[in-house]
Amino acid sequence: MNTATLYSFRRCPYAIRARLGILYSQTPVALREIELKNKPEILLRHSPKGTVPVLTVKQKDGTKVIDESIDIMLWALNAKDPSNILPRKNSYSEHKTQQLINTNDNYFKKWLDKYKYFDRQPEHSQKYYRQQAEIFLQELEFLLQDKDFLLDVDASFIDIAIFPFIRQFAYVDKSWFDGSEYHNLKKWLSYWLKSEIFSRAMIKYQPWLLMEQEYQLGKLDN
């Protein structure tokens, strides 16, 4: 019986990273797919800000609510990390992971949104917004120059935390991205887009309010 429930929206990059973290952990979690225009009342009671993802965990003293995607990933992977994707404590990888997540969430995502919805941001051109976002892409391209993943020879926490946002950026103007000079980044993105774990994270489910049916997330073998 699941003690944790994830409220998710399939295309949201924050929700994608949360689902990837849970899948890597292989922790059983009930998944409730929601519609952003028709948010269930129970979700709003748990997290009044009404954004996804939201994880609720039944405990002896009540229900714990985690409504930040990175915290959901850490909740799952601190409990079980069979692929050893979490960085070692107080290591360079841990500090660099924190720095890259901070840049992604607080800098890159802002310019990504302006780039994607440039028609709502008439102060500058779409190209200008893309160029601001590219500052982060250049850092990632450099990190990938001598390895297949951002901070290690194997996939780690930072790769799955950032990948959904790079995917979103690439699809704003796919022809431009495909023709860009970010050869290392394009190779890295292609790996994740073709990965089995991403395919599992992106399974399409009916909205929970329509079916009141929960789906299982977290077991890679079912």
| pLDDT (mean) for 206-217 | 76
**What's phi and psi for 85, nearest 5 deg?**
-90, -10
Q: Please tell me the total count of domains within the chain.
A: 2
pLDDT, position 221 = 44
pLDDT at 164 > cutoff 70: yes
- 51 and 143 in a single domain? The answer is no
pLDDT at 220 > cutoff 60: no
Condensed to tens digits (0 to 9), the pLDDT of residues 43-101 reads 999 999 999 999 999 998 899 999 999 999 999 999 999 999 999 999 999 999 999 99
Q: Alpha helices, DSSP H only, in the chain?
A: 13-25, 41-46, 69-79, 92-103, 109-116, 126-143, 157-170, 174-178, 183-193, 196-201, 208-211
Residue 160 lies in a domain: yes
- 28 and 98 in a single domain? The answer is no
Residue 75 lies in a domain: yes
pLDDT at 40 > cutoff 70: yes
- 97 and 189 in a single domain? The answer is yes
pLDDT at 218 > cutoff 80: no
- 119 and 183 in a single domain? The answer is yes
Residue 44 lies in a domain: yes
- 193 and 209 in a single domain? The answer is no
Condensed to tens digits (0 to 9), the pLDDT of residues 115-147 reads 999 999 999 999 999 999 999 999 999 999 999
Residue 69 lies in a domain: yes
- 152 and 63 in a single domain? The answer is no
Average per-residue pLDDT for the chain: 94
- 122 and 171 in a single domain? The answer is yes
> Residue 172 has which token pair?
């704003």
**Number of helices (H), then strands (E), in the chain:** 11, 5
Q: Which domain holds residue 111?
A: 92-197
Q: Can you tell me whether residue 221 is helix, strand or coil? A: coil
- 13 and 69 in a single domain? The answer is yes
- 38 and 125 in a single domain? The answer is no
Contacting residues for 23 by C-beta, under 8 A, at least 6 apart: 197, 200, 201, 217, 218, 220
Cα(132)–Cα(29) distance, integer angstroms? 37
pLDDT at 208 > cutoff 60: yes
How far is CA 74 from each of CA 29, 68, 83, 187, rounded to the nearest angstrom? 14, 10, 14, 27
pLDDT, position 212 = 63
Gyration radius from the chain CA atoms: 18
Residue 222 lies in a domain: no
- 63 and 111 in a single domain? The answer is no
pLDDT at 2 > cutoff 80: no
Condensed to tens digits (0 to 9), the pLDDT of residues 86-111 reads 999 999 999 999 999 999 999 999 99
pTM across the whole model: 0.94
- 178 and 212 in a single domain? The answer is no
192 band by pLDDT with thresholds 50, 70 and 90: very high
- 185 and 103 in a single domain? The answer is yes
Residue 63 lies in a domain: yes
